[in-house]
Amino acid sequence: MKTYCVTGGAGFIGSHLCGQLLAQGHRVVNIDNFNDVYDYKTKIRNILSSTGTVFPYLHSGDKMDDLAKLQAVVESDHYRLAVADIRDMDELDAVFASERIDAVIHLAAMAGVRPSIEDPLLYEDVNVRGTLHLLEAMRKHGVRKWLCASSSSVYGNNKKVPFAEEDVVDFSISPYAATKKACEVLGHTYYHLHHIDTVMLRFFTVYGERQRPDLAIHKFVKMLDKKEELTMYGDGSTRRDYTYIGDIIAGILGALTYVEEQDHTYEIVNLGTNRTITLRDLITTLEREVGEQAVIRTLPHQPGDVEQTYADVSKANRLFGYEPQTDFAEGIHKFVTWYRGDRHG
């Protein structure tokens, strides 16, 4: 049994990852601060799903009380929930001092392009300074293996497709993208100075069960289900490389095995599907799956939004056998089934 620290382990991707690590028999230390970007009870449900725990205090209405009770309920030989903020060096130090961590999977971040334009200082504080704090905790406590979530947004409006890891990514068009590029640079610095083996994972538009409620697919399904108007920015021609959560988790686990087997390595790797879907096609697919016709309100293209994302995944395949298995329609079906069952209402 190994001990893995997952930051942001109560979130969409993190809770799925924690569940898989637990299923493999490992110990998971989940660091999450349960910020107020969306309802903290959504994250509680994620943890309950990933740990298979029954928690009767979900609707008490007192956040700190709920989290304290949750920590007590989920605590086991295999799982620990540390309610902590990666911007607080003392909190991180306390966690790392009390655990023998084999590797870190760093998913915690302020996410989203448009909100980063509204509050760039917060994004810098959490994504850059928080990541630096984590790296310092790793250095101090001798943890020398980590994965870090980067983003397809670092490619900006790259004209060359598909996007490959060796492409120049010096032209970010949002503060969010800039913070993710900064994390990649910090990762290389600590690899070089402190021999921390590193894989930076550039995620391409992840969707699926437990997706955050502020993301497009989740919002659109909710609006369609309630027969509400959909807001579409631009003419619907923007394209995204949508990647199903199961494929992302398989990629993370493959990268984890890879980095654990290496001695002195730094890699940047795309995790996508190597295919794209237009916004118009996304809406059509959702209409068909939900069984409702969308009423669409068209607004201008938003600053910071890239025209397309499109992943070259050949490097991930070469390094650790990454092969996405879920086509878009199948993934949307799984999401809508989850929404109407486990999540809806």
In the residue annotation, 176 being an active-site residue is answered as yes
What does the block give as tokens for 94? 């306390």
The catalytically annotated residue of 123, 176, 191, 207 is 176
Cβ(275)–Cβ(162) below 8 Å: no
Other C-beta atoms closer than 10 Å to the C-beta of 337 total: 14
Q: Which amino acid is at 99?
A: E
DSSP letters, 285-304, are HHHHHHT----EEEEPPPTT
State the Cα–Cα distance between residues 31 and 92, nearest whole angstrom. 9
DSSP letters, 124-167, are IIIIIIHHHHHHHHHHHHT--EEEEEEEGGGG-S--SSSB-TTS
Ramachandran assignment for 4, one of left (phi > 0), alpha (psi -120 to 50 degrees), beta (any other): beta
What does the block give as tokens for 44? 């509680």
CA dihedral 83, 85, 86, 88 (to 10 degrees): -120
Please count the helices (runs of H) and the strands (runs of E) in the chain.
13, 13
What does the block give as tokens for 79? 């799982």
Measured in degrees and rounded to the nearest 5, phi and psi for residue 274 equal 70, 30
Which residues are annotated as catalytic? 176
